[in-house]
């Protein structure tokens, strides 16, 4: 799914949270230190993305990614990507972690349910309900997470987020 042009976050329309790092200097981020962290930075580049995905998770297609096993370094780097000031990098980090059944990945995605950018929230909702992308996942979510998704289905300011959250809930009910 392409991410980018036309995605505009309207301050105040979705969340009271500030979009971190946009010229504010208030967002702390260390310079990339591992090769994996450098790769995560390059997820922002459309030109590099395919190559980055291959290096980071070993594939690009859904069929390739289903059997993926992330190294700890890749998992750490992508978890860091979830906190990046660039929403594209947050979105792509979710996208790649969606294929990882590791509980650490699931837990790291949960805070993104509160992301100021609707597309990022949608992808978080997807990843937290998607067993198709990670057949090894038990599908278990903490009660608080399910309640949060239920609230999003009701009250998220973005229609698509509400729709996806409702869908996620119905998938979850079916699988448990």
Contact segment (CB under 5 A) with Zn ion among 17-25, 84-92, 105-113, 133-141 equals 133-141
Residue bearing tokens 């699988």: 175
Residue bearing tokens 């690009």: 60
How far is residue 65 from each of residues 58, 61, 95, 101, 113, measured CA to CA in Å? 7, 6, 11, 11, 23
Rounded to an integer, what is the distance from CA 88 to the centroid of its chain? Answer: 10
Alpha-helix runs per DSSP H in 4-158 = 35-41, 49-57, 62-65, 72-81, 87-97, 103-109, 118-127, 143-155
Angle between helices 72-81 and 49-57 (to 10 degrees): 140
Determine if 130 is a binding residue for Zn ion (CB under 5 A). Answer: yes
Determine if 133 is a binding residue for Zn ion (CB under 5 A). Answer: yes
At its nearest, how many Å lie between Zn ion and the CB of residue 61?
13
At its nearest, how many Å lie between Zn ion and the CB of residue 170?
15
Nearest to Zn ion of 41, 161 (CB atom): 161
How far is residue 60 from each of residues 19, 53, 96, measured CA to CA in Å? 29, 6, 9
Q: Per the structure block, which two tokens stand in for 172?
A: 């979850």
Nearest to Zn ion of 36, 98 (CB atom): 98
Contact segment (CB under 5 A) with Zn ion among 48-56, 82-90, 130-138, 155-163 equals 130-138
At its nearest, how many Å lie between Zn ion and the CB of residue 95?
8
Q: How many residues bind Zn ion (CB under 5 A)?
A: 3
Determine if 98 is a binding residue for Zn ion (CB under 5 A). Answer: yes
Nearest to Zn ion of 146, 171 (CB atom): 171
Angle between helices 143-155 and 159-175 (to 10 degrees): 140
Contact segment (CB under 5 A) with Zn ion among 11-19, 92-100, 101-109, 155-163 equals 92-100
Contact segment (CB under 5 A) with Zn ion among 60-68, 91-99, 106-114, 167-175 equals 91-99
Binding site for Zn ion (CB under 5 A): 98, 130, 133
């Amino acid at each position: 799914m392409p991410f980018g042009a036309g995605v505009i976050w309207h301050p105040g329309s979705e969340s009271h949270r500030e979009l971190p790092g946009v010229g504010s200097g208030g967002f702390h981020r260390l310079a990339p230190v591992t090769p994996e962290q450098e790769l995560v930075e390059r997820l922002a580049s459309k030109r590099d993305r395919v190559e980055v995905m291959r290096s980071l998770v070993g594939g690009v297609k859904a069929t390739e990614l289903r059997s993926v096993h992330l190294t700890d370094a890749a998992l750490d780097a992508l978890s860091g990507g979830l906190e990046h000031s660039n929403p594209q990098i947050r979105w792509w980090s979710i996208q790649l972690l969606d294929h990882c059944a590791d509980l650490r990945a699931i837990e790291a995605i949960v805070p993104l349910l509160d992301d100021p950018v609707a597309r990022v929230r949608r992808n978080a909702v997807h990843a937290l309900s998607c067993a198709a992308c990670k057949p090894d996942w038990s599908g278990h979510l903490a009660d608080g997470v399910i309640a949060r998704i239920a609230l999003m289905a009701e009250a998220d300011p973005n229609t698509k987020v509400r729709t996806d959250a409702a869908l996620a809930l119905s998938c979850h009910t079916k699988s448990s």
